[in-house]
Amino acid sequence: MISREPTIERLATARALLLEPFGLDETHLARALAEIRAHRVDDADLYFEYTRSEGWSLEEGIVKTGSFSIDQGVGVRAVSGEKTAFAYSDDISEASLLDAARTVRSISAAAQSRRARAASEKIVKSRRLYPAEDPIASLDSSAKVRLLERVEQRARARDPRVVQVMAGLASEYDVVLVARADGTLAADVRPLVRLSVTVIAEQGGRREVGSAGGGGRFGLAYFTEAQIDEYVNDAVQAALTNLESRPAPAGEMTVVLGPGWPGVLLHEAVGHGLEGDFNRKGSSTFSGRIGERVAARGVTVLDDGTIADRRGSLNIDDEGHATQRNVLIEDGILKGYMQDALNARLMGVPRTGNGRRESYAHVPMPRMTNTYMLAGGHDPREIVASIKKGLYATNFGGGQVDITSGKFVFSASQAWWVEDGRLLYPVKGATLVGSGPDALKKIRMIGNDLRLDSGVGTCGKEGQSVPVGVGMPTLRIDALTVGGTA
């Protein structure tokens, strides 16, 4: 089979969905951008998007809900200095496009008319991090229902203490087209799927919950029988473990974090503080500290939007720039921040491919993609064995972070009390309290078992949600405060 070059293929898909049905082509985009540039602006872009979403959920043995939606529209933005003017419409037409362009161009402080310079078209270079497929079409409706029913059946068969099972299957097909004032033209076709499993187990009148799941940028064929079994086993085991949990001790102690999803603590307590907008405004605890030691030796933190098939990866960011592998902290030294175009220009640094937005109805801002810490040299068993008295946390629920101070509060959804290197019993109600920068400096051992999460992360910032990935190896952090229930 002969296939087209990825960039050409994605542009053709975007034109077919977002331009041609509405009688538009690149000349209309150029005309709208010229309208904006007729006044003095530093930057401008058009962001077209078509999104088709589907969701199914099972509870009490039956599929109770199913949803399907289609959304499409265009966002028009002009930037002058620090000011942004933005308009959007779900009516994709030449008239609405030009009307939005004339509206946002008024941002110009001087409002002095000048001759618009023609920008030569620049196609973003090719890459293919994930298949340009529609995951919704990769299974028919009856097969999706049967998939969820298998999840429910296997969870109940796993242990008689499982009394309730909830499962959800979500698919999304997202096509974007970005045209920038500098002539950049870029498109992306973004599949996204996720399967989630939650079980409730009961024993002696006590009920506990366990959850698992995953996904990424591919089709539903990813959820093989073996993959379903893994999610079911993880969810059931978490619930059964929690049935045996005791109240968590409180106080300052050694804490070991397991690999993978516990990287959400790194994402929240450190990652947000390294986003360009907070640092340009001086509101982050990391502001103005490039080149300084901000973490223990051996700590290297990356944000990488180029990992194949990952939930947080993108061929291009939402400003039309290629995503990158960005080193944020290297061997404990702060190396840089995550940047979108606006903040990079104002800070006089290169953009990093981190401009992201929830949809065409939102402005872009610097956001994380896949944020993780590199592995060290310690065997994870050695790290756990090093605990005299402390906590071993392998899964987390919700948390809160203050960007300015870096202080965080996180709830461990699965953890064990450890003495003399032995896991004595699971604990419940453990809350980690501390400061991101302080915690980085208290890292004493880094495992050789780097793992990324299974593909479940969604990050919120200023009312916008985007899919992300997190990860870390096993870590030992000394003298971390644990709020418990004991």
pLDDT grade for 8, boundaries at 50, 70 and 90: confident
Rounded to whole angstroms, the Cα distance separating 222 from 225 reads 9
The pLDDT of 233-260, averaged and rounded, is 96
Output b/e per residue, 188-212; b: 16+ Cβ within 10 A: bbbbbbbbbbbbbbeeeeeebbbbb
End-to-end Cα spacing for the chain: 64
pLDDT tens figures, 153-163: 999 999 999 99
Rounded to whole angstroms, the Cα distance separating 372 from 394 reads 16
β-bridge partners, 5: none
Q: Which of 349-358, 465-474, 476-485 has the lowest mean pLDDT?
A: 476-485
- Report yes or no: 428 and 247 within 8 Å, Cβ to Cβ: yes
pLDDT grade for 38, boundaries at 50, 70 and 90: confident
Half-sphere exposure of 162 (CA within 13 A, CB side): 26
pLDDT at 264: 92
Nearest to 76 by CA among 62, 92, 97: 97
Question: What average pLDDT does the chain have?
Answer: 93
Cα-Cα-Cα-Cα dihedral sign, residues 40, 41, 42, 46:
negative
Q: Residue 283 is encoded by which pair of tokens?
A: 């509101």
Does the structure show a pLDDT above 90 at 471? yes
pLDDT tens figures, 166-194: 999 999 999 999 999 999 999 999 999 99
Q: Which of 40-44, 119-123, 251-255, 265-269 has the lowest mean pLDDT?
A: 119-123
The pLDDT of 446-464, averaged and rounded, is 96
SS3 153: helix
Rounded to whole angstroms, the Cα distance separating 317 from 22 reads 25
Record the pTM: 0.94
pLDDT grade for 486, boundaries at 50, 70 and 90: low
The pLDDT of 205-233, averaged and rounded, is 97
Q: Which of 4-13, 139-148, 441-450 has the lowest mean pLDDT?
A: 4-13
Does the structure show a pLDDT above 90 at 268? no
pLDDT tens figures, 285-343: 999 999 999 999 999 999 999 999 999 999 999 999 999 999 999 999 999 999 999 99
β-bridge partners, 58: 63, 167
pLDDT tens figures, 83-138: 999 999 999 999 999 999 999 988 764 444 444 454 556 766 768 999 999 999 99
Does the structure show a pLDDT above 90 at 2? no
Rounded to whole angstroms, the Cα distance separating 206 from 163 reads 11
Nearest to 178 by CA among 306, 308, 341, 69: 341
pLDDT at 39: 81
pLDDT at 406: 86
Residue 65, φ and ψ in degrees, nearest 5: -135, 150
